[in-house]
A and B are shown apart, each in its own frame.
Chain A
Amino acid sequence: MVYIPRMTTLAPGVAAEFRAILGDDRVLDGSTERIIYARDGSIADGSCGVALLCETTAEVSACMGVAHRRGLPVVPRGSGTGLCGGAVPLDDAVVLSVARMRRVLEIDPAVPCAWVEPGVLNLDLTAAVTHLGLHYAPDPSSQAACSIGGNVATNAGGPHCLASGVTVQHVLGVEIVLPDGEVLAIGGPAPDPPGYDLRGFIVGGEGTLGVVTKACVRLTPNPPAVKTMLFDFASTRAAGTCVVDVIARGVVPAAMELMDSRMIEACEGFTGAGLPLDAAAVLLVEVDGTPADVEAQTGIAVDVARASGTRDVRIAADEAERALLWKARKSAFGAVARVAPNYYLHDCVVPRTRLVEILDAIAAIAARHDLLVMNVFHAGDGNLHPLIAFDRRDAAQVERVMAAGRDIVEACIAVGGVLTGEHGIGLEKRDYMGLSFGELDLDAQARARRAFDPAGRMNPRKVLPVTSRCGEAILDENSLPPGTWV
């Protein structure tokens, strides 16, 4: 795959129209600025026409109005930590950033819930409600950096979503600006809003339906007791068995994360958390609840771990040790750079009972393509993250990486898995949609999308494959201009 950078200039007057709304400083159309806004946290690269920094719903609406009249494609952007190219603009699209919309508007401790602007960072929201004994439950490993808007748009998950559920279970309402600038309010704190419940459709919309400008999210009381354990295994097989058996014994831990030996090494290098460097795999398991409940769950988890052959059980003695273990886990992606400058991953989900088998298959695929794969993932729900470490300057290697990626996706689907657990489809998994969905399904999805975005200007060429029959209005296969991948 070769990326052909395309840098055209906006039609005369467009930037001026945006400047009239946002002022000079918040319209970025210099060539370096456009290069910078052409990327997100993935390895995809696109081309940005202009980047806008909006501060209010009114500004978003006015800018969307300009884009509507001028027929410009728009890509919403939160923190740009997405891993599937969702926020990467193609075809010199307008990048609309909500990073300056970062106020927590209202906290209702009675529900409990909060209305927030989309640019509020996930961890900042938790910090803002800590004094009330509350937190925002979905905790992607990027939670220090990613935005609530981005979480809503990708239906983000995280280690603690095993027991508490992913983002969609925590979004009560949204305000969304439609492609023509109209502002729509959907849902709210009421348990069952009248009429069609569109929240489930908006959450996970990946910027293809409009710009989320507010969200009402559920807050969760902090558990009275927590226990974090690290089990050390001499084989991944034993670790995989332990995952299945713990849940089979009726314990659904708050979190259950698996790291393989290469990943352990990289994370230990950054954090010095004391991970066992000679282990084939470790499981990071957390249980929470009332103190008695936590004791009981811990007992069962440790029993099962011993039965599956753990070499060592480490239980975090205090909050500091617990934080350190989580830091090691949550730094995993970045720590890969200590091995190679780039990484590529698919976050397929497989049935928990097929974990061991699929890990073996992934190892075989990596060996076949002569690549290094490191595993770290949400083992409890079978949500894999096989990271392929590589150097994008080596074109031949990049091709092998892409081929291995495809093999991994196919292997996962073959055992009854799905394409993505939490990162979204975006650009990088778009062309795999056909592996999971038939034409009829894709067609239905394209129609639903078009109900919100008839002109196909919202995050075009994302999510639905270019070959989808009825997607053609949005994604014309024959007009792949420079600026996309070929």
Chain B
Amino acid sequence: MDASTTSGGARWLPGAPAPAEDDIVKCVACGLCLPHCPTFRLTGRETAAPRGRVAAMRAVQEGRAGVDGAFAAMMDECLACRACETACPSGVPYGRMIEAARAQVEVTRPVRVRGLRGLALGQVMSRTWAMRAMAVGLGVTQALRIDRLLPERMTAGAPRVSLPRLARRMPVRLGSGPVAAVLRGCVMDVAFRPVQEATMRAVAACGHTAVMPDGGCCGALAAHYGHPQAARRMARARIAEFEALGAEAVVVNSAGCSAHMKQWGHLLADDPAWAGRAHAMAARVRDVLELDVPSEATTTRPVAVHDACHHVNGQGIRAETRRMVAASGARPVEIPDDGRCCGAAGMYSVLQPEMSAELRLSKARAIAASGADTVACANPGCAAQIAAGLREIGADVDVRHPVELLRPRERT
């Protein structure tokens, strides 16, 4: 009866955080998360289900398995969408467990792969100039259509980069009142300039001085892909920068980033010099969707609402998305697929192309079925993924961040 009669202790690897035993034992194996897990829905395979992944962690914790290739494959296949966490009545904190499990897996990768990923996630993404250089490269290949020569699976989820927009100067200070910092970010900065500008206007309309500092990435991708040290370094840099501005709030227009930044306190909890500062700054983070922005009506059309997993599951943001869409005068329309993940999930579209493609296409079809000619989508990864899916099925639907739909007016 007692499966914990183990020989030997836990077999987690040194040199990286591991899922906590107290978190693992919370799973009572009820299976209520299964229908909410996109990878289980696609495969019907317990090893691609949250319960199975937690069981694999349990097996390592109990010394019955190691952090091996099979373990890595199971963790890599996970979208980290956290739909299971929202569904779980037992309060299994799956998000932080998969982050730690991935950090474990990262230790087992060949040094060359680890170094490369560390470089990409930790160095390139944190440097605004490096991201821009990459973006120019991507923009040029897309403009010359060289990207068509690469396998579809590698390019499908990549955002479309507009070179003229990249060249244009962005306002970095707007409005009056107390300072609210707007995260520049990494991908948002290079591929979603109109969203950045709309965010600045929205923040200003809410009575703040919107300021966009130079620094880039918040570290979310590094944390999600097993590089916690890089994530911690980036968190400290951003926190210092926002403190220097005297920011009363930090506004973020990408779901993965706002969800991650609200967890900064947890990320730096064991760093005595930073724990308090991280905690305080995390409490000031607001997703732009959480702002109640006064706006003129710009449209009366139906607009389909896509929920980013990291809004619904990380932060419980759902009604807010619809409120912002409605503020533009549009009629929010639900996508008929129960809010299933679109399969973008950070780098998932590159690392797990088959599974990602299936999710992308089924999301695109559901959006087309909603009948709306615009879909509101508040996360860069989802936006690129959904736009690609819609192109693939030949559906003529515009993909916009909800904040782009607004025409903010001064609050009276």
Contacts and interface: CB of A to CB of B under 8 A. Distances in A.
Given A32-B71, A337-B90, A402 B1 contact: yes
B45 A334 contact: no
B2 A145 contact: no
A31 B51 CA distance: 17
Contacts of A334: 28, 30, 32, 88-90
B2 A392 contact: yes
Contacts of B28: 41, 333-334, 336-337, 341-343
Contacts of B33: 145
B1 A45 contact: yes
B137 to A, nearest CB: 36
B186 to A, nearest CB: 35
Contacts of B56: 32, 35-36
Interface in A50-78: 51, 53
A33 B48 CA distance: 10
Interface stretch (A96-104, A168-176, A287-295): A96-104
A100 B92 CA distance: 26
Contacts of A145: 30-35
Interface residues of B, number: 37
Given A144-B35, A398-B2, A485-B1, A100 B44 contact: yes
A391 B29 CA distance: 14
Contacts of A208: none
Contacts of B3: 3, 5, 45, 392
Contacts of A368: none
A44 interface: yes
A325 interface: no
Contacts of B26: 337, 341
Contacts of A485: 1
A124 B40 CA distance: 15
A79 interface: yes
Interface string A320-337: 000000000001111111
Interface in B46-70: 46-47, 51-52, 55-56, 59, 64-65, 68, 70
A28 interface: yes
A121 B70 contact: no
Given A35-B64, A36-B52, A337-B26, A1 B44 contact: no
A13 B64 CA distance: 26
A5 B64 contact: yes
Nearest to B52: A36
A3 B1 CA distance: 5
B44 A97 contact: yes
B170 interface: no
A200 interface: no
Nearest to B58: A35
Given A5-B3, A44-B1, A341 B25 contact: yes
Contacts of B90: 334-338
A121 B52 CA distance: 18
A385 to B, nearest CB: 13
Given A32-B70, A99-B44, A1 B1 contact: yes
A158 interface: no
Interface in A321-374: 331-338, 341-343
Contacts of A343: 28
B369 to A, nearest CB: 14
A180 interface: no
Interface in B14-49: 25-35, 43-47
B70 A30 contact: yes
A43 interface: yes
Most buried by A among B34, B74, B91, B92: B34
Contact of A395 (B2, B34, B71, B91): B2
B5 interface: yes
Name, among A1, A30, A97, A343, the residue most crowded by chain B CB atoms within 10 Å (CB to CB).
Answer: A30
Given A270-B91, A337-B89, A391-B25, A28 B32 contact: no
A373 to B, nearest CB: 16
Contacts of A270: 89, 91
B44 A80 contact: no
Given A270-B91, A337-B91, A393 B31 contact: no
Given A342-B28, A402-B1, A28 B45 contact: yes
- Of B29, B56, B70, most buried by chain A (CB within 10 Å of CB) is B29
Interface string B89-112: 111100000000000000000000
A80 B31 contact: yes
Nearest to A270: B89
Most chain A CB atoms below 10 A, which of B31, B68, B71:
B31
Nearest to A337: B90
Nearest to A45: B3
Interface string A37-48: 101111111000
B176 interface: no
Contact of A41 (B1, B30, B44, B65): B30
A408 interface: no
B4 interface: yes
A235 interface: no
A392 B64 CA distance: 17
B2 A53 contact: no
A447 B2 CA distance: 33
A36 to B, nearest CB: 5
Contacts of A97: 44, 46
Counting chain B CB atoms within 10 Å of each CB, the highest count among A33, A53, A270, A485 belongs to: A33
Given A35-B56, A36-B56, 16 more contacts: A3-B3, A28-B45, A32-B56, A36-B52, A36-B59, A41-B30, A41-B31, A51-B46, A81-B32, A100-B43, A102-B44, A119-B44, A270-B91, A334-B32, A334-B89, A342-B28
Which 3 A-B pairs give the minimum distances between C-beta atoms? Answer: A334-B89, A337-B90, A99-B44
26 contacts: A1-B2, A2-B5, A3-B5, A32-B74, A35-B59, A35-B65, A36-B46, A36-B52, A53-B44, A53-B45, A79-B34, A81-B32, A99-B44, A119-B44, A142-B31, A145-B32, A145-B34, A334-B88, A336-B28, A336-B90, A337-B89, A341-B25, A341-B26, A342-B28, A392-B2, A398-B1
